[in-house]
Amino acid sequence: MTAKAVEELEAPATSDAQPFLPDYLLFLTASVSAAMSEEFHEHVRTRGLRVPEWRVLACLHDDDGQMITRLARFAMIEQSRLTRIIDNMDERGLLERRSDKADRRRVRIFLTRAGAGLAAELVSEARAHEKRLIQRLPDGLGQDLKATVKRLHGVLWDGEQD
Amino acid sequence: MTAKAVEELEAPATSDAQPFLPDYLLFLTASVSAAMSEEFHEHVRTRGLRVPEWRVLACLHDDDGQMITRLARFAMIEQSRLTRIIDNMDERGLLERRSDKADRRRVRIFLTRAGAGLAAELVSEARAHEKRLIQRLPDGLGQDLKATVKRLHGVLWDGEQD
DNA sequence: TATGAAAAGATGAAAACTCATATTTTTATT
DNA sequence: AATAAAAATATGAGTTTTCATCTTTTCATA
């Protein structure tokens, strides 16, 4: 065996010691989140919506008449983008803007009848999908994850609630 | 109390029974993932990189010389976008393309010395940040989450490994 | 009650992203 | 070996997204 060959055996691709990503919380979480969501997101597109639009519907389903800033935080959408998403969903008749009487800077977003119907359907489909997804996972992995992220969500969103 | 008032008490904003999102796994996971990552992503931008670029560096740090398709899967970046991100990082001297001798369709991406240095720094900072993040969380929440997503990542990525 | 700071949304322009598809190379089939 | 199908990457063009900034309205306080 040549000196070069030995060197290559002892100095792998890159990485000194342990690989980083398989032990990095933020990567694992993002990756798991994306992988789990993929399937339902595909379904959402099938229904003629983009993922952010689905998030808006879901947020309003839970709490209709939110103002844009709050909606943006919950739906994880940057404000100016959300403004334009709302323009578009408004044109499509899914929701409507109403200016807030008490604070005229605010614009409150309400689902139309059609929007509420679509939201209700998708929410119901999402619940069913989650059930299947969790069943498909081995052990109590799904339940474990859900319990943990629920607690975490509470912790991380404390203080910035509205 | 008027009939109207009673009706309003019984029929809240939208939502019939339980709110959906606070009990929806995919939302909770995405939301927690985004919230936890925010801080470090901000740091990454401070260092002059976008998040997808940081993901590329991290992937190559662990496994240098990957082909574009594989890198795209791991870094959760659409292929044609990754091609252009690589163009750009190449121009900036962070990495370089080398065509694969054995299969000339493939382009393998290697970190330059500068790129490897930057990757190593950021990986080290990411590890430190994760430590702090986990410490900040109450109970063993951080550890719980990490253990769970690690198991899940294994399950979800089985079969599509390379 | 003026006045400056902050909050909410909207918007123009630039940058980034996506989609479909082209090109090159390899693999599988006949 | 020829040919069709598949895989890997690149690219044009259209759409989205972002960033900074503007306007309007409210809040704090001197």
pLDDT tens for residues B16-57?
679 999 999 999 999 999 999 999 999 999 999 999 999 999
Q: Kindly state whether residue B5 falls inside one of the protein's structural domains.
A: no
Position B7 scores a pLDDT of 39
Residue position matching structure tokens 């990095």: A24
Measured distance CA(B67)–CA(B97) in Å, rounded? 9
Q: Which residues on chain B are in Cβ contact (under 8 Å) with A146?
A: 25, 28
Position A17 scores a pLDDT of 78
Structure tokens at A162: 């509205």
Q: Kindly state whether residue B156 falls inside one of the protein's structural domains.
A: no
From the alpha carbon of B79, which nucleotide's C1' atom is closest? Answer: D9
CA distances from B153 to A38, A66, A87, A138, B22 (A): 14, 35, 38, 12, 23
Q: Kindly state whether residue A8 falls inside one of the protein's structural domains.
A: no
- Answer for the pair A149, B148: CB distance below 8 angstroms, yes or no: no
Which among B22, B36, B153 has the least Cβ separation from residue A26?
Answer: B36
What does the pLDDT average to over A61-84?
Answer: 98
pLDDT tens for residues A107-153?
999 999 999 999 999 999 999 999 999 999 998 999 999 999 999 99
Q: Kindly state whether residue B147 falls inside one of the protein's structural domains.
A: no
CATH number of residue A126's parent domain: 1.10.10.10
Range of the domain at B37: 19-131
Q: For residue B58, what is the nearest residue in chain A, using CA coordinates? A: A21
Amino acid found at A9: L
Measured distance CA(A15)–CA(A11) in Å, rounded? 9
- Answer for the pair B94, B57: CB distance below 8 angstroms, yes or no: yes
Domain count, chain A: 1
From the alpha carbon of A106, which nucleotide's C1' atom is closest? Answer: C8
